[in-house]
């Protein structure tokens, strides 16, 4: 064996070293019988600290491994993958802390929003010209400031900084500000939509959202996919809801989409094209009845939203899949063909069909 | 799950937009027990009477109809002496016509309508229908006396007490 040395002739005691991140740690193994079942593994406290999260796993491996050599390999892998080892590796160079603080000082402490306990992650707060606050998260490794810190932010496209030698947090920040300028018009448009229409999805749009579902009326909505860099051009539009409710919008849209005016906002354009007053989000949380499920009277049932819609034009009632399924399985007269149930809408008694499996 | 969601919303609706002459409130929230009061409509024998009704929402509500029972004695061909009601929307299909599109508010409104327009074709109390068929005028006075009786049997809060204790037709 290369890594372990037997200490007695019966080869029941072994001593050796395990190498983790270039540092050797002394280990000791006692193996009373021939098998590994009753073997005991001990090591110094530094290695114990690295292994403490993997103890149950380590115990299992000790009984599973065929020979001691495999087991030592296992210990080595586990120890080098432990989070403690990773953190130690991250900022082994003590000089980095000084550099980071110096760079924050240079940038101005007012930009700093949050800092992690181990000083490897910081969050910067950057305002754009419209007073919108953007967060830029940075995570440093040992090579900072030679290499760029890892950045993450909520932008439509991920922000990749250009990092050269001599770059610091302030250069990174000014690059970020320039990037923010690209999306300003887009965010203005989103804000106008948010203010004037009822955005069903996402519930609270953040700065990275580029697709929106907007309520057009009871039981119908439209899906918009906006290009964040060119918000003025015609976005991808898709109409959702009962056929009779959306077909007038679809017809208007198809007839007039060439009139899309790039100097107007998305909201204005949609308003002109569809000739519609967008419904507003109800303030008191009481949604109009037609948007809720007609059976449980709620909009959200766990995570489900009412997406089964009666196709009768005067009805258009929406239901949760779960609620409608339970009802039409309760009543006599429901027929099944393959995976589709044919029943009656509980509101208008017109035929309604429902797939048994949802999505 | 659906029962809790619905009850919350229905109570909200009953509080903000109650149906005319009907009040309904939650008696025991944990047991899904509600109480309602229907005020007898003008021009009917039940005028000025306040009729209390117990409502229990079963586990599978709204897939099953609510259970309603008159607590105030009422003289009516479709309501028996124990307060049980014969109304098709209070039974599940195929016998009845309950649907989840109905709710407590609409059931109570239907009940009010049933009080105004008794249904002699589907009687629960055959003797009352007998009256209804042959001596309509007499029946009216019988019902009136019953209403007066029921008014005095129950202790109403002062503000709910009828202003007139006697009506022109009551002798």
Q: What is the CATH number of the domain that holds B65?
A: 3.10.110.10
Q: What is the pLDDT of residue B167?
A: 35
- In this structure, what is the dihedral angle of CA atoms B4, B10, B15, B18, given to the nearest 10 degrees? -160
Best to test chain A binding among B92, B99, B102, B103 (most A CBs inside 10 Å): B99
Nearest residue of B to residue A298 by CA position?
A: B5
User: Which residues from B are below 8 Å from A317, CB to CB?
Assistant: 101
B86 is catalytic: yes
Evaluate whether residue B81 is within a structural domain.
Answer: yes
Where does the pLDDT of residue B8 fall: very low under 50, low under 70, confident under 90, or very high at 90 and above? confident
Residue B112 and residue B132 in one domain = no
ipTM over the 0.85 cut-off: no
Evaluate whether residue B121 is within a structural domain.
Answer: no
Q: Name the minimum distance, in Å, from the CA of A334 to any CA of chain B.
A: 12
- pLDDT tens profile A14-28: 888 888 777 788 888
A295 to B100: CB separation less than 8 angstroms, yes or no: yes
Q: How many residues does chain A have?
A: 359
Give yes or no for residue B134 having a pLDDT over 90.
Answer: no
Evaluate whether residue B59 is within a structural domain.
Answer: yes
Question: Of B116, B134, B158, which one is at a domain's C-terminal end?
Answer: B116
B5 to A301: CB separation less than 8 angstroms, yes or no: yes
Best to test chain A binding among B94, B98, B101, B102 (most A CBs inside 10 Å): B101
CB A314 within 8 A of CB A242: no
Give yes or no for residue B165 having a pLDDT over 60.
Answer: no
State the average pLDDT for chain A: 82
Evaluate whether residue B133 is within a structural domain.
Answer: yes
Q: Name the minimum distance, in Å, from the CA of B84 to any CA of chain A.
A: 24
Over residues A248-253, the mean pLDDT reads 88
A111-117 contacts: CB < 8 A, separation 24 or more?
A: A111/A173
- pLDDT tens profile A202-246: 778 888 888 887 888 765 778 788 999 998 888 888 777 666 777
Q: What is the pLDDT of residue B57?
A: 93
Residue B15 and residue B97 in one domain = yes
Residues 250-309 of A with CB under 8 A from B: 286, 292, 294-298, 301
Evaluate whether residue B131 is within a structural domain.
Answer: yes
Closest to A347 (Cβ–Cβ): which among B1, B93, B101?
Answer: B101
A182 or B23: which leads in pLDDT: A182
Q: Which residues pair with B67 in a beta bridge?
A: B56
B1 to A301: CB separation less than 8 angstroms, yes or no: yes
In chain A, what are the domains?
5-90 (no CATH), 93-182 (3.10.110.10), 197-289 (3.10.110.20), 290-359 (3.30.40.10)
Return d(Cα B36, Cα B85) in angstroms, integer.
15
Residue B105 and residue B141 in one domain = no
Residue B160 and residue B141 in one domain = yes
Closest to B101 (Cβ–Cβ): which among A286, A294, A330?
Answer: A294
Closest to A327 (Cβ–Cβ): which among B5, B12, B100?
Answer: B100
Residue B73 and residue B138 in one domain = no
CB pairs under 8 A between A and B: 44
- pLDDT tens profile A99-116: 888 888 888 888 888 888
Residue B74 and residue B136 in one domain = no
Residue B112 and residue B133 in one domain = no
Residue B160 and residue B76 in one domain = no
Q: Of A234, A250, A252, A240, which Cα lies nearest the Cα of A201? A: A240
Q: Within an 8 Å CB–CB cutoff, is residue A346 touching chain B?
A: yes
- Do you find a cis peptide bond into B94, omega within 30 degrees of 0? yes
CB A237 within 8 A of CB A227: no
Q: What H or E segment, with its residue span, contains residue B55?
A: strand B50-56
| DSSP H helices in B51-120 | 104-116
CB B41 within 8 A of CB B116: yes
Q: What is the pLDDT of residue B139?
A: 54
Question: Of B70, B95, B116, which one is at a domain's C-terminal end?
Answer: B116
Over residues A279-287, the mean pLDDT reads 63
User: Which residues from B are below 8 Å from A286, CB to CB?
Assistant: 12
Q: What is the pLDDT of residue A218?
A: 63
A295 to B94: CB separation less than 8 angstroms, yes or no: no
Cβ–Cβ contacts within 10 Å for residue B9, how many?
18
Q: Within an 8 Å CB–CB cutoff, is residue A217 touching chain B?
A: no
Over residues A118-134, the mean pLDDT reads 86
A104 or A81: which leads in pLDDT: A104
Where does the pLDDT of residue A74 fall: very low under 50, low under 70, confident under 90, or very high at 90 and above? confident
Return d(Cα A26, Cα A286) in angstroms, integer.
67
Closest to A294 (Cβ–Cβ): which among B5, B10, B100?
Answer: B100
| Three-state secondary structure string covering chain A | CCCEEECCCCCCEEEEEEEECCEEEEEEEECCCCCCCCCEEEECHHHHHHHHHHHHHHHHHHHHCCCHHHHHHHHHHHHHHCHHHHHHHHCCCCHHHHHHHHHHHHHCHHHEEEECCCCCEEEEEEECCCCCEEEEEEECCCCCCCCCCEEEECCCCCCCCCCCCCCCHHHHHHHHHHHHHHHHHHHHHHHHHHHHCCEEECCCCCCCCCEEEEEEECCEEEEEECCCCCCCCCCEEEEEECHHHHHHHHHHHHHHHHHCCCCCCHHHHHHHHHCCCCCCCCCCCCCCHHHCECCCCCCCECCECCCEECCCCCCCCEECHHHHHHHHHHCCCCEEECCEEEEECCCCCCEEEEECCCC
Q: Name the minimum distance, in Å, from the CA of B101 to any CA of chain A.
A: 5
Domain limits at B138?
126-170
Residue B16 and residue B97 in one domain = yes
- pLDDT tens profile B97-126: 899 999 999 999 999 999 888 887 777 777
B101 to A298: CB separation less than 8 angstroms, yes or no: no
Residue B90 and residue B149 in one domain = no
Q: Model-level pTM? A: 0.46
A308 or B164: which leads in pLDDT: A308
- Name the catalytic one among B21, B86, B167, B170: B86
Torsion sign over Cα A298, B113, A312, A337 = positive
Which DSSP category does B93 fall into?
Answer: T
Residue B101 and residue B50 in one domain = yes
User: Which residues from B are below 8 Å from A297, CB to CB?
Assistant: 5-6, 9-10, 103
B100 to A346: CB separation less than 8 angstroms, yes or no: yes
B14 or A115: which leads in pLDDT: A115
pLDDT above 70 as % of chain A: 90
Residue B130 and residue B112 in one domain = no
Tally of domains in chain B: 2
């Amino acid at each position: 064996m290369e890594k372990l040395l037997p200490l007695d002739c019966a080869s029941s005691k072994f001593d050796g070293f395990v190498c983790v991140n270039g540092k050797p740690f002394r280990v000791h193994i006692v193996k009373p019988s021939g098998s590994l079942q009753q073997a005991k593994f001990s090591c110094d406290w530094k290695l114990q600290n690295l292994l403490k999260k993997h103890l149950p796993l380590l115990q299992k491996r000790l009984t599973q491994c065929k020979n001691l050599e495999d087991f030592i390999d296992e210990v080595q892998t586990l120890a080098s993958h432990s989070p403690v080892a990773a953190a130690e590796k991250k900022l082994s160079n003590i000089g980095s802390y000084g550099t980071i603080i110096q760079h924050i000082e240079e940038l101005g402490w007012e930009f700093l929003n949050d800092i992690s306990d181990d000083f490897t992650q910081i969050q910067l707060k950057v305002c754009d010209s419209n007073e919108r606050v953007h967060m830029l998260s940075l995570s440093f490794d040992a090579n900072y400031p030679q290499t760029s810190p890892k950045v993450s932010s909520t932008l439509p496209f991920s922000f990749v900084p250009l990092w050269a030698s001599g770059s610091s947090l302030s250069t990174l920040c000014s690059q970020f500000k320039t990037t923010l300028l690209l999306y300003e018009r887009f965010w203005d448009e989103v804000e106008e939509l948010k203010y004037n229409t009822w955005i069903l999805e996402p519930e609270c749009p953040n700065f990275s959202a580029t697709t929106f579902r907007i309520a057009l009326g009871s039981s119908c909505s439209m899906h918009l996919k906006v290009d964040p860099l060119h918000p003025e051009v015609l976005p991808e539009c898709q109409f959702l809801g009962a056929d009779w409710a959306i077909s007038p919008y679809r017809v208007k849209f198809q007839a007039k989409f060439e009139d899309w005016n790039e100097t107007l906002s998305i909201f204005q354009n949609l308003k002109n094209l569809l000739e519609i007053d967008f419904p507003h989000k109800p303030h008191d949380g009481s949604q109009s009845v037609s948007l809720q499920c007609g059976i449980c009277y709620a909009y959200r049932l766990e995570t489900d939203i009412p997406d089964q819609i009666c196709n009768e034009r005067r009805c258009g009632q929406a239901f949760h899949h779960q609620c409608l399924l339970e009802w039409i399985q309760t009543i006599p007269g429901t027929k099944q063909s393959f995976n589709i149930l044919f029943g009656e809408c509980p509101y208008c008694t017109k035929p309604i069909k429902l797939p048994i499996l949802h999505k | 799950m659906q029962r809790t969601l619905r009850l919350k919303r229905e109570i909200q609706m009953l509080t903000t937009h109650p149906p005319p002459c009907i009040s309904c409130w939650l008696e025991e929230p944990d047991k899904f027990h509600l109480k309602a009061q229907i005020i007898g409509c003008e021009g009917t024998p039940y005028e000025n009477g306040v009729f209390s009704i117990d409502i229990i929402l079963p586990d599978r509500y709204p897939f099953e109809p609510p259970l309603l029972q008159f607590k105030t004695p009422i003289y009516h061909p479709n309501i028996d002496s124990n307060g049980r009601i014969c109304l098709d929307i209070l039974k599940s299909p195929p016998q009845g016509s309950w649907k989840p599109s109905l709710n407590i508010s609409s059931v109570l409104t239907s009940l009010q309508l049933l009080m105004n327009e008794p249904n002699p074709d589907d009687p629960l109390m055959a003797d009352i229908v007998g009256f209804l068929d042959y001596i309509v005028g007499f029946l009216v006075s019988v019902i009136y006396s019953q209403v007066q009786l029921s008014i005095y049997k129950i202790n109403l809060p002062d503000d709910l007490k009828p202003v007139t204790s006697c009506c022109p037709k009551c002798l």
